[in-house]
Structure 1
Amino acid sequence: MKKSIISILFSLLFSTTLLSQIQYSDETKKYIEYNDAVIVLKNSLLIDGKGGTPKSKQTIIIKNGKIEWLGDDSKANIPNGANTIDLNGKAIMPGLVMLHEHMYISASSKESRYPNLRQLPVSFPKMYLASGATTIRTCGSIEPYSDIRIKKDIDLGLFPGPFMELTAPYIEGKHSYFPQMKENKTPEEAAAFVNYWADQGFTSFKAYIGVDKPTLKAAIDAAHKRKLKITGHLDMVTYEEAAELGIDNLEHGFMVCTDFVDDKKENENPASGKAYESMGTIDVKSESVKRRIQFLIDKKVGVTSSLAVFEGATTMQPKPNEDVLNAMSPDTRDYYLKNFAAIKSAKTPWDYDKAFANNAKMEKMFYDMGGLLTVGTDPTGNGGTLAGYGTWRAIELLVEVDGFTPLEAIKIATLNGATALGFEKTIGTIEIGKSADLLIIDGDPSKNISDIRKVQLVFKSGVAFNSKKLFESVKGKVGFN
């Protein structure tokens, strides 16, 4: 089958030769601090992304966007003419690889019977890159041609942003909660849907809550026939059923898992809130839980954590972050603050906080038992989980709630993400020959995970972007564009 122009462009853009020849626009140049053929970063604390002990007084030599050499400062052979930067002990870690990202945000829907999702093609790419996310998977599109254009403009250097793995529009079933999602009435429709969007250049797929088993099976088979992967935010289909059908990944940790709903009927959505209710009462140490987790691992099904968006529905959610509020447009801020107040005082028939805690325990069990756990932002929910700021929070919560060490959380957010995408040979860790996707941090996130918020420079294929300038450029605008 003929490759689409977008697919061919995507493949070409990953070659070092073409990357070194990108002609950045004046708009993108505003945020670039360094763009030299050879850059030397010396006197750094190196966190390689593999989970090992960080090393001090390390040098990295970057040539044409790739890591050419790394090692002790005392052993470095600095090339003539290289731009040498003394980091004075600041940390270097791999660029983040985040797997549940969107180009849209939840917005007010008070005058509509439908949930409102607002595409943000200008602010969100900048914010992802500013936070250190050098590669993202969009994990569901509501404006697919907009996502294609955003990716193209970033790849051509016209606009700053991360490398984007494009997930197609959501694969829904016969009924859709969101008006932007096509309702696939038959398995044949779902297969045709997958093939159409694969032809447009999308490289992954996501099944959604209204998909039944026959529809999901058809979508999985169609994606795999194209050698593409498919994930799912499921409800009608259980995790165990999806794994048996061959799904590659599952979203939101175990928070939306319906395997433990007592009266769950095959190919039917359980009553609203039943998944949360079951997660709140489950015994996470039970053999039933361990067996299902092991089944996912045996089937090589990955799981993506998205704790930040679910924290926003707990009674223990932290007070609104000032940087987040200052980034928002006035209507976006009002929407979020109203939701925040409502959630704080809300009463539900189930214990959502306990469900959140049990989900965290199961994510840790999945990882400890050998499962591939990744992490994503999911900038939806109550409106307070933004690209960038929510990205940091999702990683912090891996430590604060799941109980991972900072080094484990960094590995989940770098190497594990790259592995899930099949890019572990080129990104995800700091190694000779890999792309120079690096973060310069004025702190030590291997000891204090919140130091990931102290990103100063984001190297994307050897080109260094100023994090502060990127964030400042969208201040007060998130929600407008």
Structure 2
Amino acid sequence: MKHLTFILLLLVLASCKNTSNPESVAQNSFNNTSKQRVELSENVLKYVKHNSKTLALTNATIIDGNGNPIKKDQTLIISDGYIQSVGENTEIDIPKNATTIDLSGKIIIPGIVGVHNHLHIPRFPFVGEVASKLYLASGVTTIQTCGSASPQKEIELAEKIERGQVIGPDIITSGPYFTGPGGNPNMIIPRDEKHIRDTIQYWVNKGVRWFKVYRNTRPNDLKIIIDEAHKQNAKVTGHLCSITFEEATNSGIDGIEHGLNSTSDFRGNKTFGKCDGSREYIDIIIISSREVKQLHQLMIDKDVFLTSTLAIFESSIPHRAFADERTLNAMSPFLVTQYQESKERYGSLDSKDSLRENRLKRIMAFEHQFFKMGGTLTAGVDAGRHILPGFGDQRNFELLKEAGFTTEEALKIMTSNGAKVLSNTEIGSIEKGKKADFMIIDGNVENHIRKIELVFKDGYGYDPQLILKDVKGQFGVE
């Protein structure tokens, strides 16, 4: 009996030893993973070109999304929707049951993680069914909707995508916007503290983890919103005006949208708690000045991220405000007419609007400085006008390059930085153990970001052209 007890004790100690190393446990659990990618419905599978459980992508060029230098001659092994291994061709063993695809001359980049990616546009409170297709076809595999006009519909669409019933990116849903007196009447204008807390608790119970405050929000309301959201393990971001970046940062906000264009800290004659004051600052303030750098440093010290939305601002500059052929093909006749009418109002696309052009450059410089100082810069499309879901995310990449970011930096902003603010360690980069969410581009990223060959999400390889063919003329149907 004593001998048996001793043997049992040894077995227990051995078990404890095997589980005392977290890395060992994680590695073992990954190698014998119980994670299974969702089974797709026939309605979704019709867009899928590659459906193998185990896939080997060889001879690829990879930009990992973490800001590291580009790597060539790489092999990527995918199984059950996750990256099992990645490295030099000569270092990776290809499983016997793998389907092999030669990617010579092609490049892999992570799926875009958009954190200002609405499922509504002006006049249309919900365009989710078509927008979700446009996002995925454009290489956007995860979105945070950053304020919702139809929260319940967002939740329902997100659940359908998660179950594999409809096509689209993973959707991190938002609650309704909060604003203040004089703000948009379709948003939540808090009556009192209980109204704020009850609203947040209601939507958190439905699965929402993000809330957005809008331009007229009162400072004390913001503090209550942040307090209740954080109690509920949710986050708060804002399109600010009545509240300055400094005030919001010190109140504990998680993120701020749009950069210099909504930085009311520098407005002349601004009233505390009011969306007023002059905007001369946007044309005259020195971006490298001590006051701007102090603001950036405060945000960095408080771990407040900043979201870039360059494409939507560019769309208001006459000589830049143009829609390409694929955009016109996707838009409804109503939106095409709207676009043509606005183009006529702008006049010739050759005419220059130096004021707004200079503002774009200054917005770019503001974001570039924040990033270089160590700030977490993210990006999102903020769709509207002729800037469509997904297409605008791709344009953001081109504009970040124009702003002076390297290709690796721009992709980090649009992928792993987005994953960081979403607290999702499974997405945003090409690494072992991450979800197989990425895109394949034929040629270099700089010149071919709009020409994606394949988009992988959960290890399924989607054909973007099939998706885009299906949405022709559908975006913004009345």
> Is the shorter-chain TM-score for this pair beyond 0.5, marking a shared fold?
yes
* 2:454 maps to 1:457: yes
Following the alignment from structure 2 to structure 1, what is the Cα–Cα distance between the partners of residues 40 and 428?
24
User: What SS class does the counterpart of residue 254 from structure 1 fall into?
Assistant: helix
Equivalence for 2:182? 175
Equivalence for 2:430? 430
Equivalence for 2:209? 203
User: What SS class does the counterpart of residue 356 from structure 1 fall into?
Assistant: helix
1:89 deviates by 2.4
Equivalence for 1:162? 169
Structure 1 residues 45-444: aligned runs within 5 Å: 45-106=61-122, 116-177=123-184, 179-270=185-276, 274-275=278-279, 277-343=280-346, 351-380=355-384, 383-400=385-402, 402-423=403-424, 425-444=425-444
Pairwise CA RMSD: 2.0
User: What SS class does the counterpart of residue 171 from structure 2 fall into?
Assistant: strand
Structure 1 residues 7-22: aligned runs within 5 Å: 17=34, 19-20=36-37, 22=38
User: What SS class does the counterpart of residue 121 from structure 2 fall into?
Assistant: strand
User: What SS class does the counterpart of residue 100 from structure 2 fall into?
Assistant: strand
User: What SS class does the counterpart of residue 436 from structure 1 fall into?
Assistant: coil
Contact map agreement 2:173 2:209 (CA 8 A) in 1: yes
**TM-score, normalised with respect to structure 1:** 0.89
What one-letter code is carried by the residue in structure 2 that aligns with 1:387?
P
After superposition, the C-alpha distances for 1:41-98 in whole angstroms (9 at most, x for unaligned) are: 1111111112222121111000111111111212321111211111122101111111
Equivalence for 2:3? none
User: What SS class does the counterpart of residue 71 from structure 1 fall into?
Assistant: strand
1:18 deviates by 5.7
User: What SS class does the counterpart of residue 273 from structure 2 fall into?
Assistant: coil
What one-letter code is carried by the residue in structure 1 that aligns with 2:470?
S
**For residues 341 and 238 of structure 1, do their structure 2 counterparts lie closer, same or farther at Cα, with a shift above 3 Å needed?**
farther
Contact map agreement 2:137 2:463 (CA 8 A) in 1: yes
After superposition, the C-alpha distances for 1:252-289 in whole angstroms (9 at most, x for unaligned) are: 12211111101011011115xx44x3212212122111
User: What SS class does the counterpart of residue 39 from structure 2 fall into?
Assistant: coil
Following the alignment from structure 2 to structure 1, what is the Cα–Cα distance between the partners of residues 360 and 92?
48
User: What SS class does the counterpart of residue 113 from structure 2 fall into?
Assistant: strand
Equivalence for 2:48? 32
**For residues 164 and 342 of structure 1, do their structure 2 counterparts lie closer, same or farther at Cα, with a shift above 3 Å needed?**
same
1:16 deviates by 7.0
**For residues 311 and 344 of structure 1, do their structure 2 counterparts lie closer, same or farther at Cα, with a shift above 3 Å needed?**
farther
**TM-score, normalised with respect to structure 2:** 0.89
Contact map agreement 1:173 1:185 (CA 8 A) in 2: no
Contact map agreement 1:141 1:170 (CA 8 A) in 2: yes
User: What SS class does the counterpart of residue 444 from structure 2 fall into?
Assistant: coil
After superposition, the C-alpha distances for 1:141-188 in whole angstroms (9 at most, x for unaligned) are: 1011110111011111111100111111111223332x4312213343
Following the alignment from structure 2 to structure 1, what is the Cα–Cα distance between the partners of residues 145 and 470?
22
User: What SS class does the counterpart of residue 160 from structure 1 fall into?
Assistant: coil
Following the alignment from structure 1 to structure 2, what is the Cα–Cα distance between the partners of residues 65 and 412?
24
**For residues 215 and 325 of structure 1, do their structure 2 counterparts lie closer, same or farther at Cα, with a shift above 3 Å needed?**
same
Following the alignment from structure 2 to structure 1, what is the Cα–Cα distance between the partners of residues 72 and 49?
24
Following the alignment from structure 1 to structure 2, what is the Cα–Cα distance between the partners of residues 341 and 313?
13
Following the alignment from structure 2 to structure 1, what is the Cα–Cα distance between the partners of residues 143 and 309?
14
Following the alignment from structure 1 to structure 2, what is the Cα–Cα distance between the partners of residues 118 and 343?
27
Following the alignment from structure 2 to structure 1, what is the Cα–Cα distance between the partners of residues 49 and 243?
48
Contact map agreement 1:45 1:57 (CA 8 A) in 2: yes
Following the alignment from structure 1 to structure 2, what is the Cα–Cα distance between the partners of residues 61 and 174?
54
Task: Calculate percent identity across the aligned residue pairs.
Answer: 38
**Any gaps of 5 or more consecutive residues in structure 2?**
1-31
Contact map agreement 1:237 1:267 (CA 8 A) in 2: yes
Contact map agreement 1:94 1:429 (CA 8 A) in 2: yes
User: What SS class does the counterpart of residue 266 from structure 2 fall into?
Assistant: coil
User: What SS class does the counterpart of residue 58 from structure 1 fall into?
Assistant: strand
Following the alignment from structure 1 to structure 2, what is the Cα–Cα distance between the partners of residues 164 and 319?
29
Following the alignment from structure 1 to structure 2, what is the Cα–Cα distance between the partners of residues 240 and 233?
13
1:17 deviates by 4.3
1:341 deviates by 3.3
Following the alignment from structure 1 to structure 2, what is the Cα–Cα distance between the partners of residues 378 and 19?
33
Following the alignment from structure 2 to structure 1, what is the Cα–Cα distance between the partners of residues 260 and 346?
21
Contact map agreement 2:145 2:172 (CA 8 A) in 1: yes
After superposition, the C-alpha distances for 1:290-345 in whole angstroms (9 at most, x for unaligned) are: 11111111111100000000111123414321111111111111112222333458
Contact map agreement 2:441 2:448 (CA 8 A) in 1: yes
Following the alignment from structure 1 to structure 2, what is the Cα–Cα distance between the partners of residues 203 and 340?
39
- How many residue pairs get aligned? The number is 445
Following the alignment from structure 2 to structure 1, what is the Cα–Cα distance between the partners of residues 393 and 176?
22
Larger Rg: 2
1:117 deviates by 3.2
What one-letter code is carried by the residue in structure 2 that aligns with 1:321?
D
User: What SS class does the counterpart of residue 119 from structure 1 fall into?
Assistant: coil
What one-letter code is carried by the residue in structure 2 that aligns with 1:23?
E
Contact map agreement 2:147 2:212 (CA 8 A) in 1: yes
What one-letter code is carried by the residue in structure 2 that aligns with 1:68?
Q
**Any gaps of 5 or more consecutive residues in structure 1?**
1-14, 107-115
Following the alignment from structure 1 to structure 2, what is the Cα–Cα distance between the partners of residues 315 and 463?
40
Contact map agreement 2:321 2:343 (CA 8 A) in 1: no
1:19 deviates by 4.2
1:121 deviates by 2.3
Contact map agreement 2:35 2:80 (CA 8 A) in 1: no
Contact map agreement 2:41 2:166 (CA 8 A) in 1: yes
**For residues 40 and 339 of structure 1, do their structure 2 counterparts lie closer, same or farther at Cα, with a shift above 3 Å needed?**
same
